[in-house]
Structures are given as structure tokens and as C-alpha cells.
Amino acid sequence: MNKLSCKEARGIDLVEYLGSLGYTPKKIRSQDYWYCSPLRDEKTASFKVNRARNIWFDFGEGKGGDLIDFGTRYFKCSVNELLEKLSQTPMSHHFSFHQPSIAGEKNQPDAGKILILEQRPLTNPSLLLYLQKRCIPLGIAQQFCREIDFEMYGKKSTAIGFRNDKGGFELRNENFKGSNSPKASTFYDKASPEVTVFEGFFDFLSFNALHKNDLKALTKNFLVLNSLSFFHQVKDLMDKHQRVNLYLDRDKQGMKCTRQALQWDERKYKDFSKSFREGQDLNDWFVERQSYVLSHHVTKNIRHHQ
């Protein structure tokens, strides 16, 4: 069989191709198919394929592209090696060599772009319930977050918004995880020689809730990456501090970055994720801790009244 061209490879339907690799979407919203990323370990689906445009974007890493970009990363191979591999794929898969589209969207390259419509203080009941499920006190969330109305593919939604240093927002609600452009990290400068680093903003909010009565912990500088893809980009900023406290996730990529930092300078960089279980982040641990405290308190009250 003749080797596929790059043009032909890019025309393979990404959803079908991911299916052939054993990946199924966790949810489907119109033309957006959401997966747990095939490129790293994660529990919340943040890898999106837009089937109309046949492209993918990994919100956890802040990177995306077409099928060739995915395949070369997934198999850790060159473009030529990927084309050989695709050419040898059994024809029983019957890949569609066209890009599905929906009326009116084909000629709109920005159709999937998130457009911020309005922002205000947090009041939406569903968002407040979401914060409650993640054990974040409203007062702390209101200090750092906004309620954001946004539009994507003509559909309006509301989410918790966390602003980055370039004016973009990380957006979260019960059913959505995304961000608008520009995407960047968020730095809080309190003129401290120490900086505490988090992967996501819910970890940052959890830290503030955990240390709400600890003024010393809250007067350090804070850096929220908003994506691990920024970790190496902010090395110079971290290196300006005398001490860097790392609270990165305990998944494969987070632990890899932590190990890298300790190799840079183990006297300066400190790993504070050791209290988490494997696969957890600080918010996971905090929710688990709060559940234990509540359960212990309820049990103690029951025994007191017996």
C-alpha cells in the first residue's frame, strides 16, 4: 500500500482515529468531543476534539493541532514514521477521509473561540454549589474569581473565571473546563522571598482555605501555572526567589516537573505534594480531608448524645 500523504493523514477523522486507539469521549457537546487526555494521566476530561474542524486541543498542556501533531506526540515519532504507521493500519477501521462539518461553521475559523460576554461577582446558584462540592468557601473564591458569561459555538454559558496575567480567564463549572485567549500563568507578588506554586487555581483556592488563619503562609508570593506547559517558561521567575514551594499534581506530568525542579536546585525547590496520594492534587486532598473532618465531627456528636 502506498504511504499516505500529510494532506491525507490530516483528513482522517480524529474521533474515529482516537476510537481505533481505544479512547472514547467522556462527553459530547455539539461538535466538541471531550476525552481524558491520551497524552498524559488525568481524571477530568480536558482534551477536546472539535469534529467540525478536525482539530484537538489539550487544555491541561495548552497545546493542540491536527492528527499529525497528535500522532507524532502520542507515538513519539517523526512525521514520516507516523505516515508509515497510518499507511499500515488495517483497512477494517474504515477511517473517514473527510472532515465532518456543520452548516455555517466550515468557513468560520474562530467558531470555537471562547468569547467573554460579561463578568461580575459570584452569585450563580449552580456555581456556588460547585464551589461547595470542591470545599471552597465563597469568601475566598470571591477574592480571586469572577462569574463569567461566555459564548462558544453560538451557545452562552456561565462559569467561574480565574484571571491570568495577560487578561485571559480559566473557566470552570460542573460540566466545563476551558480557557479563553490569551492563556498564561497568574502571579501574585507580595514582595516575599518565597513563592508557592500551584498547577491549577482550585489548588490555589484550597491552599487559601486551608491556611485562612495562617498569616505567614498567605503573605508569600503565589504562582498559579494554569497549565503545566508554562512550568519551564516561568523558571526565571521562580529562580528569583530564595525558596520555591511546589504543590504540583501527583500525576505523571506533575511529578515529572517536580523531579525536574529538584534537579535544578533541591535546596531552593521543595516538594509539598508528598502528602497527596498518587493521582491526587491539593484540591482532591483538601476535599478528602474536609469529608473526614465532617464525618469525625458527626460521629463524635452522635456518641455524645447516646
In a domain, 298, yes or no: no
Could you give phi then psi for residue 264, rounded to 5 degrees? Answer: -60, -50
So what's the pLDDT on residue 145?
97
- State the pLDDT confidence band at 64, using cuts at 50, 70 and 90: confident
| 283 and 253 belong to one structural domain | yes
What does the pLDDT average to over 199-209?
95
Q: Tell me, rounded to whole angstroms, the distance of Cα 38 from its chain centroid.
A: 14
Residue with more model confidence, 280 or 194:
194
3 state DSSP class of 249: coil
- The residues, ordered by sequence, that sit 6+ positions from 43 with a Cβ below 8 Å of its Cβ are 36, 279
| 269 and 191 belong to one structural domain | yes
- State the pLDDT confidence band at 276, using cuts at 50, 70 and 90: confident
DSSP secondary structure letter of residue 196: E
What does the pLDDT average to over 3-19?
86
| 143 and 191 belong to one structural domain | no
DSSP string, 113-144: --EEEEEE-S--HHHHHHHHHTT--HHHHHHH
- State the pLDDT confidence band at 125, using cuts at 50, 70 and 90: very high
What does the pLDDT average to over 81-101?
62
Q: What is the rounded CA–CA span in Å between residue 11 and residue 100?
A: 10
What does the pLDDT average to over 18-45?
86
CA-wise closest residue to 65 among 53, 82, 77: 53
3 state DSSP class of 152: strand
Q: What is the rounded CA–CA span in Å between residue 268 and residue 16?
A: 47
In a domain, 293, yes or no: no
Contacts 24+ apart (CB under 8 A), 79-86: 79/6, 82/9, 83/3, 83/4, 83/5, 83/6, 83/9, 84/3, 86/4, 86/9, 86/12
In a domain, 159, yes or no: yes
What does the pLDDT average to over 271-282?
87
| 70 and 10 belong to one structural domain | yes
Domain boundary among 154, 179, 204: 179
Statement: residue 128 has pLDDT above 90: yes
- The residues, ordered by sequence, that sit 6+ positions from 136 with a Cβ below 8 Å of its Cβ are 202, 205, 206, 209
So what's the pLDDT on residue 106?
41
Least confident of 84-88, 147-151, 263-267: 84-88
Domain containing residue 275: CATH number: 3.40.1360.10
- State the pLDDT confidence band at 112, using cuts at 50, 70 and 90: low
Q: Would you say 274 and 258 are in contact if contact means Cβ atoms under 8 Å apart?
A: no
Domain enclosing residue 39, as ranges: 6-93
As for how many domains the chain has, the answer is: 3
- The residues, ordered by sequence, that sit 6+ positions from 146 with a Cβ below 8 Å of its Cβ are 119, 120, 121, 122, 160, 161, 163, 169
pLDDT in tens, 152-203: 767 889 999 999 999 999 999 987 888 888 889 999 999 999 999 999 999 9
In a domain, 199, yes or no: yes
What does the pLDDT average to over 138-152?
94
- State the pLDDT confidence band at 209, using cuts at 50, 70 and 90: very high
Q: What is the rounded CA–CA span in Å between residue 185 and residue 223?
A: 7
